Amino acid sequence: MNRFSDLLDSKHSITFVISLTPVIAAGVPTVTVQANQQVLFSGELDHAVRLEITELDLLQPLAISVAISNKHYHAEQETAVIVESFKLDEFEFVPSHTHLFEYTNDHNNSQPTNYLGFNGVWSLTIDRPFYQWLHQVTGQGWLID
């Protein structure tokens, strides 16, 4: 790339990778993972998975979620999903940036976490181009527009 026009001719997208590990002592959780409108996984999660999508639009808003249902609560045994890794391109959100996720669940527990122990939805919403958003949430200073 030698000049600005070369840059405009190039095509770039965002890669999303998520790694999940289920906790199944009290039953297998039902899990749905979505990135924008695309479903990456839907069904019973009975073993660790690594899910990847490589063509997220560089400039479009993003909505990524992990939904858990069908958990039956037990006092001594657990069903859960652990988000081991959540990466957009090279940026890893776990564990340092879990406060950026919204966790809506049937126990109204909104503590930042990557341990999803309730029926509910753990989601990340980015309302502008990812790298503009990342600039601000990582404290990179001004963004002149």
Site residues for another protein per CB under 8 A: 1-8, 10, 12, 14, 58-59, 89-90, 129-132, 135, 139-145
Smallest separation (angstroms) from another protein to the CB of 86: 18
Smallest distance, another protein to C-beta of residue 12, A: 5
Altogether, the residues listed in the chain come to a count of 145
Of 69 and 136, which has the nearer Cβ to another protein? Answer: 136
**Residue written as token pair 């958003």:** 133
Toward another protein, which CB reaches closer, 37 or 140?
Answer: 140
Q: Which of 72, 78, 68, 65 is nearest to 45 (CA)?
A: 68
CB-nearer residue toward another protein: 10 or 108:
10
Closest among 105, 127, 125 to 116, alpha carbons compared = 105
Query: Minimum distance between the CB of residue 102 and another protein, rounded to whole angstroms?
Result: 23
Whether the CB-CB separation of 112 and 98 falls below 8 Å is answered with yes
